């Protein structure tokens, strides 16, 4: 065919518009058709960057060739504030980092301070902390899976997730008066004892929630289109996950059974029976978007189990340690790092204390920040719609990324 | 009653006969009025249905159960500032909503609402509707290009690709009923479905059985055609799971990102107008038009104006049901990816329709309706 064209065009100069070997090329190849990659700016105001993340994306048609996450739009000098206010005053600030899991942030910071100051927390307070933290984990995961549905274009599951989350927010509001930034877990214990009727109410919610979770799975998890959109998309190999310092459901989605509640138990997690779900590639490959999503769904069930056990084991007693008042004036010198399992991964506080009521250095290892770092590697080569699905599956909270 | 109809018809003929301008004005008034009222109702229906699916209440404040909410929203849109982006192509930007709207708008004239009522009975009804609704894509392309916004451009390109791809299966699917009835006119396709066994529509009793019945159930291949047409029409209306041109989570708002106020409302009217048009065509072609039940016809023409209103009511009820199914799908399903949409169109819908068309041709040639050998 190509040869025939060549001979035809060389034999008949009148038909020079036929380009040898390529009959489909436009007639005049001398026209200056310049093609260039299109750079599009996803964010900081974009519906599916989950806050003020900006991703500069270079695209070739619908295919992403390069992606460059740009952060810092929500930077509030969090770590510096942690050095200028006293440790006790800093607790409400920790609410504002991962605002979807504020209890977990309170807990991580309080545990770190308590460990340096050698404060013994009463057992009842530890149980109340566990219940609050695990409920907050469910609320956070509900937000993650609900908005993930939004990212792939399913509107309705989002409302179902929010209906359940609303119940949890109500329960948490009951005990501490706030719906999002709780400031409930304090250094030395918790702010308030469980009010009357609080525990039965949680039990009622948990019974309802398990069946509602099945409903949610029917609606979204096993939906054929949803599986097509997420399975085999954005695969993170275990090697990459470890190399980029990814933790939490994203790491477990890639197949490593690593959960700080199990590996380095804090609070009373060694007393509870629970599984650490991992991604197994049921719908596609291990470590794809669907696996990460599925790990979050399974973790909600495990959190329900933990809360149930905590409720049955909870003793009566004090909720605040006796010897914490002095922390407003002085602390023990020392330094240390404590990692806790936030819904998004390993939330670490590294504190240096020189005996002052405030920390000399207060460093936060934010899971969203580390999990975000792989986007630049994951996005190139995918389609624009996949890019949205991948960003959604990392479940980042920008308040924590930028701090 | 008959006098009323004939008066209406006579004055219509007089208007159409004496003055093209008067007829034009009347037709435009009817279609614009109908689309506006329909769009208000459609938006309300969509909001209420989605609220129901999502355990919410939806609009409740303006009017009973929020019925007048669309009116309030429309007023708000009308009073908004008229904005054209600084570097936009001003002419195309202003012109695009009108072009997009005119496709859906013009298709209304061919829809047969009752045995006596449609604006004009186009002989080539099916062809006319398919052709005229395709104009909308030009408006969308113009909007996307002229907005000087990369997201808009993306939306427009996706819309063009999607519409061109899905017009093939939807037009092919419409060819199957045309093959069966031997007519391209929407009214005569409906009349084919309502045909009594002796073939005399005028002499039929009030309630009678018609052997042809709804074309969707005429033969297995027409049922296939109905399903394919419905799926393809979802893509043509940019409805979920094919709502890629305005995929909110990916493209912000797609091709109408930069539009606001009255121009935006024109795109809105176009979307709801298209939803109605494709559903109305599906009703007329596959679901028997004004025939209340499959194989069971009512001779509405003998009931005078009441009959015509009833016939139009049956037609509207079926159409609104199909629109409701579109809404139902939209609030249930996630969105497909671009390549999956194309695979769906080219690898599944087109081959399926081609097979159905060929089989229907063979069936028609040998006079078979359901199963070869039985009948």
pLDDT digits 0-9 by tens, B81-97:
888 888 888 888 888 88
Q: How far apart are CA A260 and CA B105, in angstroms?
A: 62
Residue A135 to residues A129, A238, A253, B209, B228, Cα–Cα distance (Å) = 10, 29, 21, 63, 46
Question: Which of helix, strand or coil describes residue A107?
Answer: helix
Across the interface, do B53 and A226 touch by the CB < 8 Å criterion?
Answer: no
Residue A9 pLDDT class (50, 70, 90 cuts): very low
What is the per-residue pLDDT for B90? 84
Across the interface, do B340 and A228 touch by the CB < 8 Å criterion?
Answer: yes
What is the per-residue pLDDT for B8? 59
Residue A273 has pLDDT above 80, yes or no: yes
The pLDDT tens digits of the residues spanning A52-110 come to 888 888 888 788 888 888 888 888 888 889 888 888 889 899 988 888 889 999 999 99
Residue B235 has pLDDT above 60, yes or no: yes
Point out the residue among B53, B252, B333 whose CB comes nearest to the CB of A225.
Answer: B333
Q: What angle do CA B158, B162, B166 make, to 5 degrees?
A: 175
Q: How far apart are CA B181 and CA B190, in angstroms?
A: 9
Point out the residue among A160, A163, A383 whose CB comes nearest to the CB of B339.
Answer: A383
Residue B353 pLDDT class (50, 70, 90 cuts): very high
Chain A nearest-CA residue for B334: A154
What is the per-residue pLDDT for A8? 43
Residue A45 pLDDT class (50, 70, 90 cuts): confident
When the pLDDT of each residue in chain A is averaged and rounded to a whole number, the result is 85
Residue B321 pLDDT class (50, 70, 90 cuts): very high
Question: Cα distance from B165 to chain A (closest Cα, Å)?
Answer: 17
Average pLDDT over residues B215-225: 87
Average pLDDT over residues B233-256: 80
The pLDDT tens digits of the residues spanning A349-362 come to 999 988 888 888 88
Residue B227 to residues B173, B215, B231, B242, B270, Cα–Cα distance (Å) = 9, 12, 6, 15, 23
Note whether B279 and B290 are within 8 A (CB): no
Across the interface, do B151 and A388 touch by the CB < 8 Å criterion?
Answer: no
Answering whether pTM is above 0.90, one says: no
Residue B170 has pLDDT above 80, yes or no: yes
The residue among B151, B334, B338, B343 with the most chain A CBs within 10 A of its CB, best to mutate, is B334
Domain covering A77-402 in this structure, CATH number: 1.10.645.10
Residue A27 pLDDT class (50, 70, 90 cuts): low
Point out the residue among A46, A163, A219 whose CB comes nearest to the CB of B252.
Answer: A46
What is the per-residue pLDDT for A12? 44
Q: Which has the higher per-residue pLDDT, B199 or B235?
A: B235
Q: Write the DSSP assignment of B212-280 as a string of letters.
A: S--GGGTSHHHHHHHHHHHHHHHHHTT-TTS-GGG-HHHHTTGGGTT--HHHHHHHHHHHHHHHHHHHH
Point out the residue among A48, A153, A160 whose CB comes nearest to the CB of B240.
Answer: A153
Q: How many other CB atoms are found less than 10 A from the CB of residue B70?
A: 25
The pLDDT tens digits of the residues spanning A189-241 come to 888 888 888 899 999 999 999 888 988 888 888 888 899 889 888 899 999 89
What is the per-residue pLDDT for A130? 92
The pLDDT tens digits of the residues spanning A125-184 come to 999 999 999 999 999 999 999 999 888 888 888 899 998 999 999 999 998 888 888 889
What is the per-residue pLDDT for B210? 80
Query: Where do you find CATH 1.10.645.10 in chain A?
Result: 77-402
Q: What percent of chain A has pLDDT over 90?
A: 22
Domain layout of chain B by residue ranges: 20-77, 80-366
Question: Cα distance from A97 to chain B (closest Cα, Å)?
Answer: 24
Residue A31 has pLDDT above 60, yes or no: no
Query: Within an 8 Å CB–CB cutoff, is residue B89 touching chain A?
Result: no
Note whether B359 and B179 are within 8 A (CB): no
Q: What percent of chain B has pLDDT over 70?
A: 92
Rg (CA), chain B: 21
What is the per-residue pLDDT for B375? 60
What is the per-residue pLDDT for B59? 87
Q: Which residues of A touch B (CB under 8 A)?
A: 38, 40-41, 46-48, 62, 149-156, 159-160, 163, 219-220, 223, 225-226, 228-229, 383-386, 388
Q: Which residues contact A314 (CB under 8 A, 6 or more apart)?
A: A124, A127, A128, A131, A199
Name the token pair of B106.
């013009």
What is the per-residue pLDDT for B10? 61
Q: Which of B153, B248, B151, B146 is nearest to A42 (CA)?
A: B151
Residue B259 pLDDT class (50, 70, 90 cuts): confident
Name the token pair of A315.
């003793």
Across the interface, do B337 and A385 touch by the CB < 8 Å criterion?
Answer: yes
Q: Which has the higher per-residue pLDDT, A202 or A32?
A: A202
A67-71, A116-120, A328-332: lowest mean pLDDT where?
A328-332
Q: How far apart are CA A79 and CA B165, in angstroms?
A: 54
Q: Helix B304-330 and helix B261-286: axis angle, to 10°?
A: 110
What is the per-residue pLDDT for B11? 60
Give A262: exposed, middle or buried? Use CB within 10 Å, 0-12, 13-18, 19+. middle
Residue A3 has pLDDT above 50, yes or no: no
- Give A38's contacts in chain B (Cβ within 8 Å): 150
Across the interface, do B54 and A156 touch by the CB < 8 Å criterion?
Answer: yes
Name the token pair of B342.
């194309």
The pLDDT tens digits of the residues spanning B175-185 come to 999 988 888 88
What is the per-residue pLDDT for B295? 80
| Helix residue ranges, H only, A152-257 | 156-176, 198-216, 224-230, 238-243, 249-253
Q: Does ipTM exceed 0.90?
A: no
Residue A119 pLDDT class (50, 70, 90 cuts): confident
Interface contacts A/B by beta carbons within 8 Å? 79
When the pLDDT of each residue in chain B is averaged and rounded to a whole number, the result is 83
Q: Within 13 Å of residue B191, how many CA atoms lie on the same side as its CB?
A: 17
N-terminal to C-terminal alpha carbon distance within chain A? 63
Residue B248 has pLDDT above 80, yes or no: no
The pLDDT tens digits of the residues spanning B19-71 come to 667 777 777 787 788 888 888 888 899 999 999 888 888 888 888 888 888 88
């Amino acid at each position: 065919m190509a040869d025939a064209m060549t001979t035809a065009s060389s034999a008949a100069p009148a038909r020079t518009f036929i380009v040898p070997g390529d009959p489909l090329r436009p007639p005049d190849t001398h026209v200056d058709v310049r093609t260039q990659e299109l750079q599009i700016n996803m964010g900081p105001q974009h519906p599916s960057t989950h806050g003020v993340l900006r991703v500069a994306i270079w695209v070739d048609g619908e295919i992403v060739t390069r992606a460059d996450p740009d952060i810092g739009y929500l930077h509030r000098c969090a770590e510096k504030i942690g050095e200028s206010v006293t440790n006790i005053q800093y607790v409400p600030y920790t609410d504002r980092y991962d605002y979807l899991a504020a209890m977990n942030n309170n807990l991580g910071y309080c545990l770190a301070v308590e460990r340096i100051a050698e404060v013994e927390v009463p057992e009842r307070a530890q149980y109340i902390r566990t219940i609050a933290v695990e409920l907050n984990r469910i609320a956070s995961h509900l937000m993650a899976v609900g908005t993930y549905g939004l990212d792939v274009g399913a509107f309705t599951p989002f409302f179902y997730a929010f209906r359940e989350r609303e119940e949890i927010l109500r329960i948490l509001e009951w005990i501490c008066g706030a719906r999002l930034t709780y400031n409930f877990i304090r250094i030395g214990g918790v702010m308030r004892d469980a009010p009357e009727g609080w525990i039965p109410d949680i039990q009622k919610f948990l019974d309802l929630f398990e069946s509602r979770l099945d409903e949610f799975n029917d609606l979204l998890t096993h939906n054929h289109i949803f599986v097509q959109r997420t399975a085999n998309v954005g695969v993170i190999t275990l090697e990459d996950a470890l190399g980029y310092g990814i933790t939490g459901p994203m790491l477990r989605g890639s197949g490593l059974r690593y959960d700080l509640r199990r590996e380095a138990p804090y609070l009373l997690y060694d007393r509870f029976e629970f599984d650490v779900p991992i991604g197994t590639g049921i719908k596609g490959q291990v470590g794809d978007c669907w696996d990460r999503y599925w790990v979050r769904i399974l973790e909600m069930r495990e959190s329900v189990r933990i809360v149930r056990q905590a409720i049955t084991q909870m003793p009566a007693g004090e909720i605040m340690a006796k010897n914490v008042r002095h922390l407003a004036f002085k602390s023990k010198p020392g330094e240390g790092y404590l990692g806790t399992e936030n819904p998004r991964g390993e939330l670490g506080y590294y504190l240096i204390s020189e005996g002052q009521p405030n920390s000399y250095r207060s460093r936060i290892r934010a899971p969203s920040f580390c999990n975000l770092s792989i986007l630049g590697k994951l996005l190139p080569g995918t389609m624009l719609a996949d890019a949205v699905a991948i960003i959604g599956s990392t479940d980042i909270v920008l308040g924590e990324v930028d701090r | 009653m008959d006098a009323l109809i004939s008066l209406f018809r006579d004055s219509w003929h007089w208007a159409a006969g004496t003055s093209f301008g008067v007829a034009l004005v009347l037709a435009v008034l009817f279609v614009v009025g109908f689309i506006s009222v329909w769009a208000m109702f459609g938006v309300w229906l969509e909001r209420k249905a989605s609220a129901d699916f999502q355990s919410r209440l939806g609009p409740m404040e303006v009017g009973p159960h929020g019925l007048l909410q669309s009116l309030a929203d429309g007023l708000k849109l009308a009073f908004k500032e008229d904005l054209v982006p600084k570097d936009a192509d001003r002419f195309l930007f202003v012109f695009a909503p009108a072009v997009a709207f005119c496709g859906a708008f013009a298709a209304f004239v061919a829809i047969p609402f009752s045995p006596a009522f449609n604006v004009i009975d186009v002989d080539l009804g099916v062809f006319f509707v398919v052709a005229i609704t395709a104009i909308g894509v030009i408006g969308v392309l113009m909007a996307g290009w002229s907005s000087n916004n990369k997201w808009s451009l993306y939306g427009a390109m996706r819309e063009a690709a999607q519409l061109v791809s899905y017009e093939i299966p939807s037009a092919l699917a419409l060819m199957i009923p045309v093959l069966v009835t031997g007519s391209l006119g929407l009214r005569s396709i409906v009349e084919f479905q309502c045909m009594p066994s002796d073939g005399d529509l005028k002499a039929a009793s009030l309630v009678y059985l018609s052997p042809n019945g709804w074309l969707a159930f005429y033969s297995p291949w027409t049922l296939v055609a109905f399903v394919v047409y419905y799926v393809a029409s979802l893509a043509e209306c940019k409805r979920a799971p094919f709502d890629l041109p305005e995929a909110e989570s990916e493209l912000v708002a797609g091709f109408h990102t930069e539009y606001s106020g009255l121009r935006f409302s024109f795109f809105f009217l176009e979307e709801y107008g298209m939803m109605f048009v494709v559903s109305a065509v599906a009703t007329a072609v596959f679901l028997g038009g004004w025939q209340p039940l499959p194989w069971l016809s009512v001779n509405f023409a003998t009931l005078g104006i009441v009959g015509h209103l009833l016939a139009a009511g049956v037609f509207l009820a079926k159409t609104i049901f199909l629109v409701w199914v579109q809404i139902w799908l939209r609030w249930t399903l996630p969105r497909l990816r671009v390549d999956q949409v194309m695979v769906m169109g080219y690898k599944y819908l087109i081959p399926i329709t081609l097979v159905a068309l060929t089989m229907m041709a063979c069936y028609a040639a040998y006079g078979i309706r359901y199963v070869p050998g039985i009948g």
